Amino acid sequence: MRVVVLTGAGISAESGVPTFRDADGLWEGHRVEDVATPEAFARDPETVHRFYDARRAALAAVAPNPAHEALGRLERALGDDLLLVTQNIDDLHERGGSADVLHMHGRLRSALCAGCGARTGWEGPMLDAAPCADCGGDLRPDVVWFGEVPLGMDRIQRAVAGCEVFCSIGTSGAVYPAAGFVQYAAAYGARTLELNLVPSEGTAHFAEARHGPASVLVPAWVDELLGD
Ligand code: APR
């Protein structure tokens, strides 16, 4: 059984990582155009670095929840028949036991050289970091900002077109291209399922939708899928 799982900020909410669009979400306290665009970084790199440095530091205080752990279990059962795609830049899927995670919006614990594109694992603050050891370029957070192209789209499109089950977890369905994967999966014949606290903006596109906390819905769905 080939399965694609797409996750968003909602899967990490119960671990204490704020979502973007809920009340008290990150986009309530920050303007996207100040911290999450290439133009913002060109204009005011210090503000952008401080925003991501704070979020990277906050990772130390959170832990995966049963939803992340259930997806780790699903990977161990399905192997390469599972593609786990996340829009999240935290590392809770990895810490929850998933070895192969496609971070389509990048990763907090990685630095990207704006000059040569080299990627380096990163801990601690990036503000005032030394330039790239290879080319002398400036380092930036390895995250995909608004107006930039998500990572891994070829692999995602192949997997979505070829899957039998497409499950979206904890995402508002507000940001494309991820919000469009469900229609693509359905067009290629997949069974589609939404697991989210409340109906997402795209809920009508799913054949089935279950609403409640990810920490409850995801383990139950994985049990069901694996026939436990
Ligand atoms: N369990 C399940 N779902 C939850 C939970 C929970 N405990 N808590 C919140 N949610 C749901 C919310 O109802 C909402 O629909 O998670 C969703 C989070 O939506 P967003 O905050 O919009 O996050 P996301 O969909 O991941 O955003 C997509 O937008 O800002 C950009 O690049 C950023 O990757 C991000 C992208």
pLDDT per position as a tens digit, 160-190: 999 999 999 999 999 999 999 999 999 999 9
Q: Which residue's CA is the closest to the ligand 1 atom numbered 36?
A: 175
User: 43: domain CATH number?
Assistant: 3.30.1600.10
Residues marked active site are found at 105
Say if residue 114 is in the same domain as residue 39. yes
| Of the residues 94, 117, 143, the one at which a domain ends | 143
User: 205: domain CATH number?
Assistant: 3.40.50.1220
Q: Which two tokens stand for residue 13?
A: 């909410």
Say if residue 120 is in the same domain as residue 213. no
Say if residue 94 is in the same domain as residue 165. yes
List all residues 6 or more positions away from 75 whose beta carbon is below 8 Å from its beta carbon.
Answer: 82, 84, 97, 98, 99, 100
Given a cut of 80, is residue 125 above it in pLDDT?
yes
Range of the domain at 26: 18-61+106-143
Question: Taking the alpha carbons of 192, 23, 176, 44 in that order, is the dihedral positive or negative?
Answer: negative
Say if residue 34 is in the same domain as residue 91. no
Residue 174 in contact with ligand 1 by CB distance below 6 A:
yes
Say if residue 221 is in the same domain as residue 166. yes
Looking at residue 32, what is its pLDDT? 85
| Of the residues 143, 171, 200, the one at which a domain ends | 143
Q: How close is the Cα of 174 to the center of ligand 1, in Å?
A: 9
Query: Which of 24-38, 126-140, 165-179 is predicted with the least confidence, judged by mean pLDDT?
Result: 24-38
Say if residue 88 is in the same domain as residue 114. no
Say if residue 162 is in the same domain as residue 210. yes
| Of the residues 95, 115, 143, the one at which a domain ends | 143
Q: Which residue's CA is the closest to the ligand 1 atom numbered 5?
A: 10
- How many domains does the chain divide into? 2
Full-model pTM = 0.97
CB burial class (10 A; 0-12, 13-18, 19+) of residue 174?
middle
Q: What is the overall mean pLDDT for the chain? A: 96
